[in-house]
Amino acid sequence: MHSCNSSCLPRREFLKTVALGTAVAAVAASSMSSIAFAQTPADGPVVLPALPYAPNALEPVISANTLGFHHGKHHAGYVANTNRLLKDSGIAATSLEDIVKAAAEQKKQGLFNNAAQVYNHNLYWQSLTPGGGNIPAAMQELLTRDFGSVDAAKKALADCAVNRFASGWAWLVADPAAKNTLKIVDTMNAETPLTMGLTPLLVIDVWEHAYYLDYQNKRADYAKAVIDKLLNWDAALARLQKTA
């Protein structure tokens, strides 16, 4: 993990494909484990959560085509591999967060990579919302407190997303050790603030599969569009308030 400003291994394609449904369930933005364990399929306890919006709801920022591949193939592949690797891991399937932490502590890298990617993607979908980008007053006050201004915070997040070399994630987090001060950090590959004593609030996926069909190599355009038009700041504030 790097605290931004900071400037990866190649992505693996997974074989299992899950069709993306046209009907979507409403998802509580603040509950990661309840989404990931909403049902228990035959092949394991970790499931692919339904998107909290229609496949075309994020257009034109993120196309239905990108969303279909990203959620129905990449995310689904991580779910399938997590369940496969979990079977012989000796780790109890209590919650997704516990699996991620236990895999990290026990240095089970394959399981960690896949379970953490499930967690990261779950939060990514919840970090986006149609017609997003509006920041509630309470969050504006916190961003101004910790970054100097709302614009400075947004710029720091955009720079973090752009400067994350190769594959990874750009996060807005709260640091419980510093009275829940807001910080912006980036992580490589499947790494997640969940294992670093930080509280994830929002995340932008900057693996190429998140944006390449729509933006090719223009990651900066993707990051700016997501921040300005899709980020769900209300959900971030709700997560922060749950930790208080």
Annotated binding residue 70: yes
Cα angle vertex 217, ends 6, 7, to 5°? 5
DSSP state of 25: -
| Tokens, residue 54 | 């229609």
Q: Where is 183: in which H helix or E strand?
A: strand 181-188
Annotated binding residue 75: no
Annotated binding residue 205: yes
Distance separating alpha carbons of residues 216 and 68, to the nearest angstrom = 17
Edge to edge, what strands does the sheet with 168-175 contain? 2-3, 181-188, 168-175, 199-205
Distance separating alpha carbons of residues 80 and 82, to the nearest angstrom = 6
Q: CA separation (Å) from 137 to 28, 134, 145, 150?
A: 21, 9, 12, 10
Burial grade of 25 (CB within 10 A; 0-12, 13-18, 19 or more): exposed
Please tell me whether residue 241 adopts helix, strand or coil conformation.
helix
Distance separating alpha carbons of residues 173 and 188, to the nearest angstrom = 16
Annotated binding residue 71: no
Q: Which of 119, 241, 98, 101 is nearest to 180 (CA)?
A: 241
Binding site members for Mn(2+): 70, 121, 205, 209
Binding site members: 70, 121, 205, 209
